[in-house]
Structure 1
Amino acid sequence: MDASHTGDEVERESPAPDSLNRRSSERLDVTWLVDCETDDTFLYASITNISEMGIFVRTTQPLSIGTRLTLRFAPPGGDGSYVLEGTVQWINEVRPLHDNPNPGMGIRFVDLTPDDRERIVDTIRTIAYIRDAPVNSN
């Protein structure tokens, strides 16, 4: 594998079970802080993309595939914070020669309430709309 591979490419090369619809929803590049917590681990990292199905957490210390964790994050300018459950679906490990520009882990949301899913979709759509809005040059 060469240095041009991204997390998305690694994901396609090693798909996790139960992930057929993983890319069926809109994905948005972001830079948000996130707290990831398991029974015995606390990780402070950043989200680099989000969809209604899950997030990619950039970290040099990814958790094991299958690990269930609690995620806490608050989109800047958003309508409050999220506390959601997720499962690590795939990891993109740090490599010795530092030829991996995007180390981290793909996390799929689990047990989302309909309200949480709707809030996530609304947040994604709002941010995408703001980014695509024309800039007035008056």
Structure 2
Amino acid sequence: GSSIWGLDLLPGEDERYQKISASDDRRRARRFSCPGTVHIVADEKTGDTVYGELGNISEVGIYVRMGAPLPKDSKIRMNVKSPAKKAEFSVKGAVKMSDRNMGMWVEFSEITPENAPRLEGLLKQLAAENPQV
């Protein structure tokens, strides 16, 4: 099967979301500041949406700055846009940490084969612009 960042993606159609098996030590993943917006579908049944500001991003998740972050363990779908980086992708995730009046850390759970290269491309671009010391 195909893989991203050395993690296997389950075989499936483009329409179906696929799981990303994240590493055990999630804090090891390099995080990058990145300007942008995050459009969040908090409830698939009602289509309720909220918006946040992209804080930072890594291969395993994203920090979204917002005044009223969603509760921990919320399952959400996000459309992430960074016009400055000419990047846009959609991904599913779960809220792992919620800071009242500040924002939330969302861990990626599923991404389509169509969206995975878009996320990977953005991370490669950010890594090239921010070399490690």
What does residue 21 of structure 1 align with?
25
Comparing 35-44 with 65-74, which one deviates more in the overlay? 35-44
CA–CA distance in structure 1, aligned partners of residues 122 and 87 of structure 2: 10
CA–CA distance in structure 2, aligned partners of residues 76 and 45 of structure 1: 15
What does residue 35 of structure 2 align with?
31
Amino acid at match of 1:130: E
CA–CA distance in structure 1, aligned partners of residues 127 and 26 of structure 2: 19
CA–CA distance in structure 2, aligned partners of residues 55 and 21 of structure 1: 15
1:90 paired residue among 97, 103, 109: 97
What does residue 127 of structure 1 align with?
126
Do structure 1's residue 69 and structure 2's residue 73 form an aligned pair?
A: no
1:46 paired residue among 44, 53, 56: 53
Maintained 8 Å contact 1:91/1:105: yes
Percent identity of paired positions between Structure 1 and Structure 2? 25
The structure where strand makes up a greater share of residues is 2
TM value normalised by structure 1: 0.66
Structure with max Cα Rg: 1
CA–CA distance in structure 2, aligned partners of residues 27 and 51 of structure 1: 5
For residue 33 of structure 1, report the CA deviation from its aligned partner.
0.7
Amino acid at match of 1:89: K
SS of equivalent to 1:120:
helix
TM value normalised by structure 2: 0.68
User: Cα 1:19–1:36, aligned 2, differ >3 Å: closer, same or farther?
Assistant: farther
CA–CA distance in structure 2, aligned partners of residues 65 and 127 of structure 1: 28
Structure 2 segments unaligned to the other structure (5+ residues): 1-21
For residue 115 of structure 1, report the CA deviation from its aligned partner.
5.9
Amino acid at match of 1:21: D
SS of equivalent to 1:108:
strand
For residue 78 of structure 1, report the CA deviation from its aligned partner.
4.6
CA–CA distance in structure 2, aligned partners of residues 45 and 86 of structure 1: 15
Maintained 8 Å contact 1:51/1:121: no
What does residue 81 of structure 1 align with?
88
What does residue 111 of structure 1 align with?
110
SS of equivalent to 1:36:
strand
